[in-house]
């Protein structure tokens, strides 16, 4: 059914949703975005699913947006750009509002959209070797559609430390930034995930779902207006001059014209 993700379910009702483009470090392509949206709908409707674990096959959790997909936006019409940005935003919203506990299992690299996906999880446990970063500004883009979720997870004050600079940070800082609940040695990661899963199996599923919805209602505003604003901002970046230069420089293996770093 799926080509870029994989979905498994054990007899207890614990589903594992795998990002499954290991050869691309699980970068978010148009197909993966569509398949994640469908998986979120399927999981929401499946009464036998009690808990969902979101994980990545291969060396990385998620390296962010697929650069080939991004480059296609430069030749697209404004209407098509907005459509593609909307698909990305709605995928994140579907995961964020999934009426089941969503536990992130993060390892390797989580950049850009990978940080966004981590931010829509209810709890994230990461390996202590993790490298994270909101790297969009290096490419002339901004963390737009992921922005509402990243800000909700970190809080604005902490988000300001990493949201604009594009710098990479490790597991300890990710915990401090509230992106991860804790970091454990990679060999202990599955045990730590299981410790997060088990308590839910003793809880009433309907009560868990209603509790999550209630908490979301009390949390920072992520409504249609906020999502539409994030879509408009991403579309505007794709239409500007910096994104073609930044992504073109990446493919050309050169520094973009604004990079004055001499290191």
Q: What is the pLDDT, as a whole number, of residue 88?
A: 94
Question: Any idea what DSSP says for residue 228?
Answer: H
How many domains does the chain fold into?
1
Residue 126 lies in a domain: yes
Q: What is the pLDDT, as a whole number, of residue 29?
A: 96
Bridge-partner residues for 18, per DSSP? 6, 55
Residue 141 lies in a domain: yes
Overall residue count recorded for the chain in this entry? 263
Residue 194 in this model has a pLDDT that exceeds 80: yes
Residue 193 lies in a domain: no
Residue 195 lies in a domain: no
- CA-only gyration radius of the chain, Å: 18
Taking the mean position of all CA atoms in its chain, how far away is CA 262?
Answer: 31
Residue 91 lies in a domain: yes
Domain limits for position 68: 1-186+205-263
Contact 209, 44 (CB under 8 A): no
pTM: 0.95
The DSSP H or E segment spanning 104 is strand 102-106
Percentage with pLDDT > 70 across the chain: 100
What's the CATH number where 166 sits? 3.90.226.10
Distances (CA, A) of 81 to 20, 27, 85, 228: 25, 19, 6, 13
Residue 68 in this model has a pLDDT that exceeds 90: no
Q: What is the pLDDT, as a whole number, of residue 81?
A: 86
Residue 199 lies in a domain: no
Residue 1 in this model has a pLDDT that exceeds 90: no
133-192 per-position pLDDT tens digit? 999 999 999 999 999 999 999 999 999 999 999 999 999 999 999 999 999 999 999 999
CA distance 133 to 135: 5
Residue 225 lies in a domain: yes
Predicted confidence band of residue 59 (pLDDT cuts 50, 70, 90) = very high
Token output for 10: 């054990």
Residue 56 lies in a domain: yes
């Amino acid at each position: 059914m799926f080509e870029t993700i994989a979905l498994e379910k054990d007899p207890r009702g614990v589903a594992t949703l795998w990002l499954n483009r290991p050869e691309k470090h699980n970068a978010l392509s148009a197909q993966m975005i569509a398949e994640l949206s469908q998986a979120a709908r399927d999981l929401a409707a499946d009464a036998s699913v009690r808990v969902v674990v979101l994980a990545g096959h291969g060396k990385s959790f998620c390296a962010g947006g697929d650069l080939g997909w991004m480059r296609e936006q430069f030749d697209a019409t404004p209407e098509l750009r907005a459509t593609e940005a909307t698909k990305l935003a709605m995928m994140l919203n579907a995961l964020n509002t999934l009426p089941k506990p969503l536990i992130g299992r993060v390892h390797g690299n989580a950049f850009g959209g990978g940080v966004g996906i981590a931010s829509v999880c209810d709890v994230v446990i990461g390996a202590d070797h993790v490298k994270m970063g909101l790297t969009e500004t290096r490419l002339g883009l901004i963390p737009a559609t992921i922005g509402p979720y990243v800000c909700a997870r970190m809080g604005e004050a902490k988000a300001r430390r990493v949201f604009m600079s594009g710098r990479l940070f490790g597991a300890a800082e990710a915990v401090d930034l509230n992106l991860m609940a804790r970091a454990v040695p990679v060999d202990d990661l599955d045990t730590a995930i299981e410790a997060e899963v088990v308590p839910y199996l003793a809880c009433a599923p309907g009560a868990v779902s209603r509790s999550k919805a209630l908490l979301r209602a009390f949390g920072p505003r992520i409504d249609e207006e906020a999502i539409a604003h994030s879509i408009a901002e991403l579309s505007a970046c794709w239409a500007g001059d910096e994104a073609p230069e930044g992504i073109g420089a990446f493919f050309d293996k050169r520094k973009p014209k604004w990079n004055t770093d001499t290191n």
